[in-house]
Amino acid sequence: MTEPHDIPRPAEDRPLRVETHGLDVITDGERKGVPRGLFWPWFGANVSVLGLSYGAFALGFRISFWQALAAGAAGIVFSFLLCGFVAVAGKRGSAPTMVLGRAAYGVRGNRMPSVVSWLLTVGWETVLVALASMATATVFGRLGWGGGTGTKVAALVLVGALTVAGGVLGFDLIMRLQTVITVVTGVLTVVYVGLVADHVHWGTVSALPAGSAQEFIGALVFMMTGFGLGWVNAAADYSRYLPRRSSGRAVIGWTTFGASLAPLLLLVFGLLLAGSSAGLGEAVAADPIGALTTLLPTWFLVPFAVVAVLGLVGGAVLDIYSSGLALLAAGLRIPRPLAALVDGVLMIAGSVYIVFFADDFLGPFTGFLTTLGVPIAAWCGIVLGDLLLRRRDYDEQDLYRPDGRYGDVPPGPLLLTLAATALGWGLVTNTSARLLDWQGYLLGPLGLGGRSGPWAYANLGVLAALALGFLGTLATARGRVRAQEAEPSRAEVSAV
């Protein structure tokens, strides 16, 4: 018989209130649920119809349908598998992701990756809110209800308010909201697929020519940065609420399955749609969500707006919750709800720029993913390497003490992060911003053809940073981890 505490979602009779937890440890009495409950927030955050647009993004690397499908599937599953491994740290440590990173980086040394994490999550929530606002305006325009500046402003205010409210109220609201988003968005997305299925022309799709190995790798890395690598820095924020006895394999499995399922299904259909129409692929690059409405009958435009907005809000809410935690981990001493509110203000400002002033979406979006994807990949490799070396759960008290076992500012992990980031940025290119045209400085010296050669857009730097961070940690941190775990905990000392 299922006990009340085994229900994977918060109980319906639990009063909804603002979550007061910030960077503090979740006590055993507050832990609840089972690993399968992780399916809801991860599926709800990734069921957005934006997944359809990734089909056009992948084919933009000039590869065939089968190459794009292989690159997309591998990139999605592998990157979310990384999230699953990071989520195990939440179960073992009871603290937010960017606090658990202190075990590898030290208490204050961890502030550097926390700032990068904060930038990434604020950037993602900004992108999602802007896309939701643009999609709403496009739908209203097709219906003849406006669609101009006034509609965009109203949509931005509404979507922004929903996102900020979710971030401020916190965990319980997010878990309830994601369940609703999962059901509503899932059903309406299936209807969308049925309505536009006649726009798929397999003969055209199957005739797409194959691309080079470099183009395939570029699409693979783009999928990794667009999906799981955008979440690894928040992957333990929800698993920290699970009881300690929860299965680590189940945490990995449900996180990976919940996060990957919707993107995989949406990617396949997105590839079929974009491969059937070159014009659609070009339109998606300018307005990733709104372009999808051109295939719909008028009567389904309002339901489509609902599915688009809910899916994007689902991802943005998780981002703003985690960005607030990252801001606190970076050293800002304010309550978590206020940190989420601060991020919400920045999110609205960035969304205003994208919606009203930016001429192109895909170029800056790609540059954003690759530029921040490199240091996040380095951080992910280091944290996973550190986690693999550990045989015991984290000492939760020492995660907050600069004079504890994890240290204050150990130089090794910071130097490794800088080295991996320097290597990574030298192997990626960014043509969307002049301030970043220095990237790719290693492509020439390493014989990869320079910034205009065949490897210029393969974005090998993300993979290189991940590998160097992981292998470098395994090679250099074993003694440090063993020494940390040999120290008795405060509880053990008190007992003696």
Write the pLDDT tens digit of every residue in 304-322: 888 888 778 877 887 887 8
pLDDT cut 90: percent of the chain above it = 47
Number of other residues whose CB lies within 10 A of the CB of residue 85: 21
Mean pLDDT value of segment 9-36: 66
Query: What region, left, alpha or beta, does residue 211 occupy, with left being phi > 0 and alpha being psi -120 to 50 degrees?
Result: beta
Q: Tens digit of pLDDT for each residue in 119-155?
A: 998 888 888 888 888 888 888 888 888 778 888 888 8
209 residue type, one letter: P
Whole-angstrom CA distances from 36 to 41, 57, 77, 95, 155 are 10, 31, 18, 20, 34
For a pLDDT cut of 70, what percent of the chain falls above it? 91
Average of per-residue pLDDT across 222-238? 91
Q: Report which of 493, 367, 374 is spatially closest to residue 437, judged by C-alpha positions.
A: 367
Q: What is the pLDDT of residues 454-464, one digit of tens each?
A: 999 899 999 99
pLDDT digits (tens, 9 = 90+) for 64-84: 999 999 999 999 999 999 999
Is 428's pLDDT higher than 90?
yes
Q: What is the DSSP letter of 208?
A: P
Q: What is the 3-state secondary structure (H, E, C) of 445-467?
A: CCCCCHHHCCCCCCCHHHHHHHH
Residue 342, pLDDT score: 87
pLDDT, averaged across the chain: 86
Q: Look-up: residue for tokens 């300690």?
A: 244
Q: Is the pLDDT of residue 336 over 70?
A: yes
User: Pick from 95, 390, 375: which is nearest to 240 by CA?
Assistant: 95
Look at residue 178 in the predicted model and tell me its pLDDT.
67
pLDDT digit string, tens, across residues 18-28: 555 557 677 77
pLDDT at 10 (0 to 100): 41
Query: How far apart, in Å, are the Cα atoms of 103 and each of 40, 213, 382, 409?
Result: 29, 38, 11, 11
Whether residue 5 has pLDDT greater than 80: no
Q: Is the dihedral of CA 31, 170, 335, 96 positive or negative?
A: positive
Q: How many residues does the chain have?
A: 496
CB neighbourhood size of 488 (10 A): 12
The pLDDT score that the predictor gives to residue 24 is: 67
Instruction: Pick the closest to residue 287 from 358, 205, 194, 378 (CA basis).
Output: 358
163-207 pLDDT, tens digit each: 887 777 766 666 676 677 778 888 888 898 899 999 999 999 999
At residue 337, does pLDDT exceed 60?
yes
Are the C-beta atoms of residues 99 and 399 closer than 8 Å to each other?
yes
d(CA 113, CA 364): 22
